[in-house]
Amino acid sequence: MVSMRAAVAVSAGGVVARQADHAYEIVLVGRSTQSTWGLPKGTPDDGESREATALREVAEETGIEPRIVAPLGSIEYSFVARNTRFRKTVHFFLMEVVGGDLSLHDHEYDLVEWVPIDDAIARLSYENEAAVVRVARNALDSRHGQTGDVSKRTTST
């Protein structure tokens, strides 16, 4: 019997949202060969904060230049790789677009799409990420009114 090592891993990412026809869309990243869909996220560089990691990884994986709106919490899960059991925590942030374009995404994912938020929840490959999107949807509704219509924004000075 081979003994397995244990390790801890941390990542950060985002739920990038926009208004489309009075509803929300978010960006999903996917791999066509594995038929998987997820939220953009990744591992911090040395000394990088969670927020900086999330902004960088979302920009790299989606081509979008994001801005953090609010923290969404974190998820935890385990996986095995190279004879090591990892316990991973991923910190997520609600984000909005300030620039960029999906066509500018890196090579890590071959599919990067804007998806209506309810369709995204159904399409995501992992329930824990779908739960994060539900939290994001609730946060968007709280910010913009219960209709989900982001055209009802109020601004403060």
User: What pLDDT was estimated at residue 20?
Assistant: 85
Does any domain span residue 157? no
Does any domain span residue 153? no
Does any domain span residue 143? yes
User: What pLDDT was estimated at residue 2?
Assistant: 67
- 72 has which bridge partners? none
Instruction: Name the residue with tokens 């003994």.
Output: 3
Does any domain span residue 113? yes
Tokens of 147: 């209709």
Local structure of residue 102 (DSSP, 8 states)? G
How confident is the model over 121-156, as pLDDT tens digits? 999 999 999 999 999 999 999 887 654 444 333 333
Contacts of 99 (CB under 8 A, 6+ apart): 64, 65
CATH at residue 124: 3.90.79.10
Q: What is the mean pLDDT of residues 101-123?
A: 95
Does any domain span residue 155? no
How confident is the model over 25-80, as pLDDT tens digits? 999 999 999 999 999 999 999 999 999 999 999 999 999 999 999 999 999 999 99
Q: What is the mean pLDDT of residues 87-95?
A: 97
84-123 residues labelled b (16+ CB within 10 A) or e (exposed): eeeebebbbbbbbbeebeeeebeeebeebbbbebeebbeb
Residue 56 domain boundaries = 5-147
Q: What is the CA radius of gyration of the chain?
A: 16
Does any domain span residue 64? yes
Structural domain tally of the chain? 1
Does any domain span residue 154? no
